[in-house]
Every structure is written in structure tokens, then in C-alpha cells.
A and B are shown apart, each in its own frame.
Chain A
């Protein structure tokens, strides 16, 4: 029994490693593809598909010569730990034992925690650099996160109430049997709130407040370099893809195969891009005010909607 349990564990770890590899690669490739789409809008040809891989490899082979202290370097490590942690509890392919990862009864809470974890690590690391711009960037990033977490949390609460479960696998299971069962149809109010939060989460215009190079150029991508920058880039692909998978699972019926996953995640991603290339960036106060207003309102409405319409 113990041996069997250990064996199961080991195979789970192995399976997760494979998932990790696939999701990361997919994340990088999709990143390049999205870059090319943005480039097309901007009238350019864009980067080759291999570019994200080259960037990461190059950065990994670089060494750093300066030190800002241990926490500074732990920042990116925390960050990727957050990314891997998030993925670890998100079932990627519904109904496939191999790609269900460590999905369990309360994984939704865990995932939301992990999503926050990386950001906090980053905040500690970048804050360690001592540059005022870093502090400003972190303050901006955290305030925006707080702002979009509210509608997102409200939306999640709404679907938790709707499906009466905290397990992502079960939420996906509840949406099986056709598109009419997807949350986006059954609970479109929560989906709307979550998708607005998603815009903030992805950090494209008009919510790229914490990256804003014209305003605070000394943000994390400038402060970190060499392998640490590589870790961050890797995380961006991994974490981005994981978030998409999570959104797909929660609102768009999950995926039963890789092709379905790719199509769905890509389309979800495109929501941020379609808006991102068209608008300039909000000022930080404008951005936060935005989330506190409409999305939050919609989030509250979604709970009311769930209570009044769906569960009654």
C-alpha cells in the first residue's frame, strides 16, 4: 500500500513534469504567435517562433556580477515557484489521469493562493534592489492586483456557489456535455467579471500599469538580468499558459484534449490582445478606479445572480 502510494506519487511527479514541459513549451510558442499577431497589427513581420527559446537560453547562459542581496535573487525563484505551484494544482486535460496533476478537493483555493504568491515574491525581490522606481512599480503592481483580484474572487465565489465545489476538476466536470453547459453560458455574469479581471491579470494595455516603460523604466525586467531574467521569462510563458488553462477550466468548459485546449486558451488570450493593441495605458489611479467600479459591481451582481437565479 505504501509502496503503491509512493509509486503512484512518483508517477504523478513524472506526469506533472511532462505537463510542465508541454505547458511551458506551449506557453512560449503561443507567446511568439501572439507577438506575431501584435506585430501584424503594428505593420511588422514580427519575431521568429524560436525567438522566446533563444532569449531564455541566452539569459540562462549569462552570469551576474553584482549583488543586491539574497532576497533580490530569490524574487524570480519565488516567482517561478508560484508559476509551477499554480500549474501543479490545475488539471490540464479533463478526464486524463496523466495530465490532471495534483488536482484535489480544494485545489481552487490553493491555485488562487499560488497566483498571488509569485507576485509577492517578486515584490520582495524587486524591492530589495533599492531603486525608487522598483518600489513604485511594486506598489503599482500590487495595487492593480488587489484591484483585479476583487472581481476575480467575486466571480470565483460565484461559480463555487454555482457548482457547490472547490475542486477545479469537478467544476470542469459540471460543464461537460456541450457548450450550453459552460459557465460562460450558465453564469455569464461571473464570466464577464472574471474576464475583466483577466485583462488586468494579463498586463496588456490599458492595464500594463506595472510594466509601463515610459513611466517607470526600472521595473523588474530591467533590474533582473542573466539567469534571473531567464527564469522570469520562463515563468511568464508558464504562468500565462496556466492562467489561461485555469480560465478555460473555470469558465469555458475545460478541455478533453490538447487541441481543444490550444484553441480555447488561444481564444481567451486573444481577448486581452484585441483590447491591448487598441488602447493606451491607464494611469494607475484610473486603472484601480476602473476595477473597483464596473468589474467589482459585476462580480457582486454575479453572486446575486447565482443566488437568485441559479441556486434557487
Chain B
């Protein structure tokens, strides 16, 4: 024992004359670090209720609960996370996975309450003092628990694609599809948004499992056109996909296509459900487009005898005559239609109602009639000179190309319009070797066409002139040419909200000469096959009508669907109309069964 060892310990007293380490009121004097993982904050306005936080929570501390204020919002499940602080371990994974970046943590860490229920709260809905806290844990920039970028779709190069009408998109391979399928968070918001309510999360799941036959079965439950929709669907699902809020949405459409691509047509019969035994009922369907065939498929599944009347020589309607084959090859459309006919749906081609068969006779001979004749008449611009011979309709050009006819467009064309038909007409014209200018009255961002289509259109060398309002068509010197006069527009904000409106600037007019002008500004229905009385009776309003529940019209036996009976006028809505009408017709044919069922349920 040395003297040093006896005296050295007394150095402890040095510390007595220094500042203490502790603070007097720790929770007040020392707030949590700026990135502290404290109590949860949810910006409920940005939250879409995808439930990823609930999924990732390893302690089941998060429940998604319905919040009145957000019920029924588009692209929103109406649910918000509720936290159980008896279970939460403040790991912050919920913040990391949050697709909308709405969930975050405050740096508040002290909370005293004598009400145990207050530790069970819906962040952002139940009022908590830290809700407006600026600091706290946020997901760091560049940190992801889910890849934000989608797998690029392999595509033909623009030069390559211009050479032929070959399909532009090449489809995912298995590895790509699995990787893309992996990005899905299985929230199901897409299911609610999809007009056909396709079971998206589950068929994506089947890709991850590699069980494509199951995927196909799932798709056929709600959609008998998976090959088609896998290529040209307007995919409203992707626009609400929460993964797309911070990154790119899951490529739902391409995944759907991938499943179909994996299954051979000849296996369809084996994989998919067969119709139930015949019921003896007969249903007539007018129009073999997506709406009509969808109704036909599901009615046939229910055991009814189905006959489809189609004016054209082949089925598919707008899918065949309105969608160019570089987007939807005929073989793929045939894959869908062939399966529908293979289960016993009879399609009578070249049978125009009102000419070959009378509508009234259908009413007489069938137990129910489903009409889905779509929008087949191009709208007119109602400007002077519109009836010029070199003003062609976009729809006509597409139909011509689909039927291998030469539309005779020349070498320099102008396309008027900003919808998908305009883009298709432009791209078809490019493939036919023309130089294409697209005139659109609003901005490119206002175009109703698919963003992808606009992009590809530009890639393929079409010039888009936005804010160009056509005012007059003028004869050119040459009969084979035509002049168009158009004025530049400036966009004026609508004071009542709504989209900005273009206003013509009369001092900025241009006149150009083209070989032809393709007008693609919309379509309307052709109801010539119905007598005036019937049109009146069915309550058509300017070529459209709004059906009652189950697509039922005011006429007892008649159901409608498709573009002329809905607002959205796209394939997937038509398909859902058909499916819905099939359900309605089934109820209509078996009223006793359904009333008994309802009684049982009540």
C-alpha cells in the first residue's frame, strides 16, 4: 500500500468545484434531439391509408381504423393508423416505410396522462400536443425500404418502332417481373380504384410466388380481357398507387401483361373455371367490344346461352379498330376473345342490328338484352371548312390500318386533338411515313392522353404544338392538300377552380398547308339501330345514358354498358359494365334465388 494510493483518491474533490453534469428539470431543459424518435405525427391529409405502417410494425402496435373525414376519397382507403403505445417500441419502421411520407415522429418524449385510453390514439386525428412539432425523426433523404424506381419496360427504340407495326413494348422477363412485383405494398387502394375492382395485390403476389396460373385465375374473376388490359389499360390503379407518391407507381399493367404472357393459350381451358350447367335462359348482346364480351363471358359462366351480335367482321370493337397493333397486337386480343368463345359464347359477326337483325326481335326472342355499342362516330369541330375532303377522322384512319386498308394520308399531316385517338392517329401516320404535327388547344400537361403515349409519340418524332386552336379549314391550291388556320392560345386560370381555359389570341394566327388534317377530338355514339321511340324509352341523353343499378335501363329486359353508358369511356370501365350487367341480368333472371339469399343474410 503506497502513500500515492492513499492520497490519489482524494482527487475526487476536484470535481466538486466544477459544473454538475445533470440539469435541474431534465424534460424541460433538454428537448429530444432534432431527429429523436418520439411520439408519432401523421399528416392525415397526405396519408392515403395504405397500411404499410401496420404491415411493417413488428409489435402489431398499429391498427388501421376508419376515419369519417377521409371516407370515400379517391385513392384513399379512408383508414388512418391508430397507435397503441402499450406496444409501440419507437423503432420508426412505420415512418421509414410510409409511402406518402405523411407519418413521422416528433422529438417529444414525455407524456403523462391519467387516462390509459389516451395512449391508444389515431395520430393526426386525435388531438395531441406534439402534432405540430417541427422536429423529430423523418426518413432520411436517400434511404428507402422499397425501391422508388420501377423496372424499366424493355421497348423497341423509336427508330425501330417506326419501321413496322410490331409491338413497341417487349414485356418483362421473369426476373424483372418479380422485382417489380416486389415493390407492391399490398394496400389494395388500387382494387377500390380499378373500375373492374381487379384483385391487383393478389395477382401481383402470385408473380412473386411464381404461380402464374393462379394469377390468371384471379384476373379472370373480374376481367376476361387480361391480355388486352395488360397492354392498353388506362390503369387508374397506377395513378393511385401509394408507391407512386414518392417514387414511381408499381407497374401494375405490365405485371398483368407478364402473367398473361407466361400462360399459353391452350392451357386456359385447363386453368380457368368452366361454365356451370345450362340454365336454359338466353341472352342477346349487341356489340362484341370489351363491354359486350365481358358480359357474354360472365353470363356464360353462369350457365346462360349467350349470343353476341357484331356488325364488324371480327370481334373486339374499339380494341381492334381503335387501338393500333403496335400497342395491342391482334394475337393478344384474339387470345382473350378466343377464350371467351371457347367456353361457348356465340358471336354472330357481320350482323348489324337494325339492318340484319331487328332490335325488336331480340327483345322478343331473348330473356335479356345487353347493349354495348360504344362511341363510334367521330365528333365534329364545327369550324368552317370542316367538310373538306382532306379532313379525315382519326378513328377512320385507325380502322383502316387495322383492316389493312390504306387511309391515304400523304406525307405531311396535322392531327387535331390531345386524346389517345389523336396520339394513335399520329403514331400510325408516322409509321405510314408521314411527317406529323399535333395541334392541341391546351398545354401538353392538360392532354387527356396517356402520359406514356404522349412521350412515345414525341420519341417517334411527332411534333406537338400545344395551345393551338384551329379556327378554320381553307382550301389549298392543290386539291390533294388542305390549309388550316389556327391561333395561339393563352391559358387563363378559372377563378372558380377547375382547369385553366385556353383563350384565343386573335393577333397570333397561323396558316399551314398539309396533305391532310386528321381530326381526333372525340367520339359520340351511333344509335341509328334504335328507333326514336326506343331511344326515348331508354332515356338516351345526347347519345349517352345513365343506367340504373346493375346497368339496368328503364326497359325491363334491357341492360347497357360500355363507353356510351359511362363517363370514363375506357376499356376497363366497359369490362366492368359488362361484368356488372352480367350480375344484374343474373339477378333479373333468378329473382327468387336472390331474394331468398338476401333474406338469409338479413
Number of contacts between A and B (CB, 8 Å)? 32
Are the C-beta atoms of B15 and A45 separated by less than 8 Å? no
Against B, the Cβ 8 Å flags (1 = close, 0 = not) of A258-285 are: 0000000000000000100111000000
Binds A, one of B19-27, B511-519, B546-554, B575-583: B19-27
What residues of chain A lie closer than 8 Å to B117, measured between beta carbons? none
Question: Which residue from chain B places its CB closest to the CB of A38 in the assembled complex?
Answer: B16
Measured between alpha carbons, how far is A45 from B24 in the docked complex, in Å? 7
Given A45-B22, A45-B24, A40:B10 Cβ within 8 A: no
Contact with A along B5-18 (1 / 0, CB 8 A): 00001111101101
- In the complex, the answer to whether A274 meets B10 with C-beta atoms within 8 Å is yes
Chain A residues within 8 Å of chain B by Cβ, number: 12
Contacts of A44 in B (CB 8 A): 20-22
Residues of A within 8 A of B20 (CB): 39-40, 43-45
- A297 contacts B by Cβ under 8 Å: no
User: Which residues of B have CB within 8 Å of A45?
Assistant: 20, 22-24
Q: State whether the Cβ of A37 lies closer than 8 Å to any Cβ in chain B.
A: yes
- Judged by a CB distance under 8 angstroms, whether A41 is at the interface is yes
Residues of B within 8 A of A222 (CB): none
By a CB distance below 8 angstroms, the chain B residues around A39 are 20
A67 contacts chain B at the CB level, 8 A cutoff: no
| Residues on A with beta carbons closer than 8 Å to the beta carbon of B9 | 278-279
A42 contacts chain B at the CB level, 8 A cutoff: yes
> Could you tell me the distance in whole angstroms from the C-beta of A228 to the nearest C-beta in chain B?
30
Q: Across the interface, do B13 and A43 meet the contact criterion of CB distance under 8 Å? A: no
CB distance from A267 to the nearest CB of B (A): 15
A42–B21 alpha-carbon span in the complex (Å): 9
Q: Is the CB of B15 within 8 A of A42?
A: yes
Q: Which residues of A contact B15 (CB under 8 A)?
A: 40-43
Q: CA A278 – CA B20 in complex, angstroms?
A: 18
Contacts of B11 in A (CB 8 A): 278
Contact in complex: B13, A274 (CB < 8 Å): yes
Residue of B nearest to A42 (CB): B15
| B12: chain A residues within 8 A (beta carbon) | 41, 277-278
Q: What's the minimum C-beta distance from A33 to chain B, rounded to whole angstroms?
A: 13
B16 touches A278 (CB 8 A): no
Of all chain A residues, the one with the shortest Cβ separation from B7 is: A278
A40 — which chain B residues lie within 8 A by C-beta?
15-16, 20
Chain B window 385-398, contacts with chain A (Cβ cutoff 8 Å), 1 for yes, 0 for no? 00000000000000
Which of A37, A42, A43, A278 makes the CB contact (< 8 A) with B10? Answer: A278
**Most chain A Cβ neighbours within 10 Å, of B9, B11, B23:** B9
Please, which residues of chain A bring their CB within 8 A of the CB of B16? 37, 40-41
Chain A's closest residue to B18 (CB) is: A43
How far, in whole Å, are A39 and B18 apart by their CA atoms in the complex?
Answer: 12
- Tell me which residues across on chain B come within 8 A of A41, comparing CB atoms: 12-13, 15-16
Interchain nearest-CB distance for B525 vs A (Å): 84
Q: How far is the CA of A42 from the CA of B9 in the complex (A)?
A: 13
A41 to B9, CA, bound (A): 12
A277 to B15, CA, bound (A): 11
**Residues on the A chain within 8 Å of B18, using CB:** 43
**Shortest distance from the beta carbon of B30 to any chain A beta carbon, whole Å:** 13
A40 to B16, CA, bound (A): 5
Most A Cβ at <10 Å: residue of B10, B16, B18, B21: B16
Cα(A147)–Cα(B10), bound, Å: 25
Q: Considering only CB atoms, which chain B residue lies closest to A280 in the complex? A: B9
Across the interface, which residues of A come within 8 angstroms of B22, CB to CB? Answer: 43-45
The CA of A37 and the CA of B15, in the complex, are separated in Å by: 11
CA distance A208 to B176 in the complex (A): 72
Shortest distance in angstroms between B149's beta carbon and chain A's nearest beta carbon? 52
Residue of A nearest to B13 (CB): A41
A103 to B396, alpha carbons, bound, how many Å?
126
In whole angstroms, what is the CA distance A277 to B9 when docked?
Answer: 9
User: Complex Cα distance A40/B22, Å?
Assistant: 10
CA of A45 to CA of B21, assembled, Å? 8
Which residues of B, 39-69, contact A by the 8 Å Cβ criterion?
none
Q: Interface readout for A18-45 with B: 1 if CB under 8 Å, 0 if not?
A: 0000000000000000000101111111
Which residues on B sit within 8 Å (CB–CB) of A278?
9-13
CB distance from B232 to the nearest CB of A (A): 73
What are the interface flags for A106-126 relative to B under an 8 Å C-beta threshold, 1 for contact and 0 otherwise? 000000000000000000000
With both chains docked as a complex, state the minimum distance between the C-beta of A160 and any C-beta of chain B, in angstroms.
32
Interface centre among A44, A274, A277 (most CB of B within 10 A): A277
Docked CA distance A274–B10 (Å): 8
Q: Which residue of B lies closest to A39 (CB)?
A: B20
CA–CA, A279 to B11, complex, Å?
A: 11
CA distance A40 to B15 in the complex (A): 7
* A42→B13 CA distance, assembly (Å): 9
B539-567 vs A, Cβ < 8 Å mask (1 yes, 0 no): 00000000000000000000000000000
How far, in whole Å, are A271 and B11 apart by their CA atoms in the complex?
15
* CA of A204 to CA of B486, assembled, Å: 100
In the assembly, what is the distance between CA of A278 and CA of B14, in Å? Answer: 11
Residues on the B chain within 8 Å of A274, using CB: 10, 13
Within 8 A of B (CB), among A93-137: none
Can you offer 19 A-B residue contacts whose CB atoms are under 8 A?
A: A37-B16, A39-B20, A40-B15, A40-B16, A40-B20, A41-B15, A41-B16, A42-B15, A43-B15, A43-B18, A43-B20, A43-B21, A43-B22, A44-B20, A44-B21, A44-B22, A45-B24, A277-B12, A278-B13
Top 6 A-B residue pairs of the complex, sorted by shortest distance between their CB atoms: A278-B9, A43-B21, A40-B16, A41-B16, A44-B22, A278-B12
Known: A40-B16, A41-B13, A274-B10. 6 other contacts (CB 8 A): A41-B16, A45-B20, A277-B13, A278-B9, A278-B10, A278-B11
